[in-house]
Amino acid sequence: MKSLLALSLTFSLMLSLVAGCGKSESVDYSKIGIKIAQTIDTSINQEFTLSRSFDYSSGYMWREKYDEKMLEHVESSIDTEKQADGTIILLQVFRFKALKKGTTYPVLVYSRLGLEGEMVAQQDIIEVNIK
């Protein structure tokens, strides 16, 4: 029981450290048992986008954290998507450019600022393989 508690505390600490960083160095999250939300294969100097839906009225927004040696953040924008039933969904879109060969793990954090500090609702870790 103590080892399970220690493991869960270690995992929570690792996630909070990732959420608190201004930028993320390349850490191989798959080797430490953290689920990768999305995998992207790209080439040097190629651009790719990451998009996530959000609820503007909730105060939560997606924020990007990434290794600046591996990726260049080109643009952030808000877009819409219309579903079959006519519902319109807001999307935050992040456009990146791959800078050098290797694997990197940008993190998208769905959070908002409150009186208690930053409240994180979700974190998506993306594996980007640059060839």
pLDDT higher than threshold 90 for residue 80: yes
Q: What is the pLDDT of residue 8?
A: 43
Q: What is the pLDDT of residue 29?
A: 62
Q: How many domains does the chain have?
A: 1
pLDDT tens readout for residues 20-72: 444 445 566 656 668 999 999 999 999 999 999 999 899 999 999 999 999 99
Q: 3-class DSSP state for residue 70?
A: coil
Amino acid at 37: A
Q: List the domain range (segments joined by +) for residue 99.
A: 2-130
Top-confidence residue, 14 or 130: 130
CATH of the domain at 55: 2.60.40.2020
CA distance 29 to 7: 16
Q: What is the pLDDT of residue 94?
A: 98
Neighbours of 104 (CB within 10 A): 24
Residue 40, CA distances (Å) to 6, 43, 108, 117, 120 in order: 33, 10, 14, 32, 24
